[in-house]
Amino acid sequence: MINGELNLGALVAFLAANKDLTAPWGKLLNYYQRREDAHIKYEQVVEQFEPPEMMETSQQLDRPEQFSPLAGSFSDSSVRIDDDTGHALIDGASFEIGVADHVAIVGGSGKDQFGMLLARLVK
């Protein structure tokens, strides 16, 4: 074939070899299909563990060199926290809490999220 000649023996050898190529070729294609499926599933898992609103790693893991005592107060106004569907759990809350104050958060929905907000577990 390379020289432009094809005799009967070469044609028979090619056809005999061709029937033996289908099984390895099918296995190779199956391997690449499984590999691409695994790659897509891996990307989906990574996306689930890295949501866009996730805090920076430095905010989660870094520790300050020195802890200074808390002073002053925590205050905020017009706090709004929404759930996953966009429904407001807290809307328009304002507070000022001194560091030595004891506070109880009571009410309906949103009290758990308010505590998590103070601990910087939600934005």
Percent of the chain residues past pLDDT 70, beyond the cut:
96
Asked if the structure places residue 41 within a domain, the reply is: yes
Residue 55 lies in a domain: no
Residue range of the domain that includes 109: 63-118
What is the pTM for the complete model shown?
Answer: 0.41
Strand partners, 75: 96
pLDDT tens profile 87-104: 888 888 888 888 888 888
Residue 18 has a pLDDT of 80
Residue 18, burial from CB neighbour count under 10 angstroms (0-12, 13-18, 19+): exposed
> What is the tally of structural domains in the chain?
2
Q: Is residue 23 in a domain? A: yes
Q: What is the average per-residue pLDDT within 41-69?
A: 80
Structure token pair of residue 32: 């690449």
In a domain, 58, yes or no: no
Asked if the structure places residue 35 within a domain, the reply is yes
- Has residue 1 got a pLDDT over 60? no
Q: Which long-range contacts (CB under 8 A, 24 or more apart) does 74-82 make?
A: 74/99, 74/118, 79/114, 79/117, 81/110, 81/113, 81/114, 81/117, 81/122
In a domain, 82, yes or no: yes
The pLDDT value given to residue 24: 84
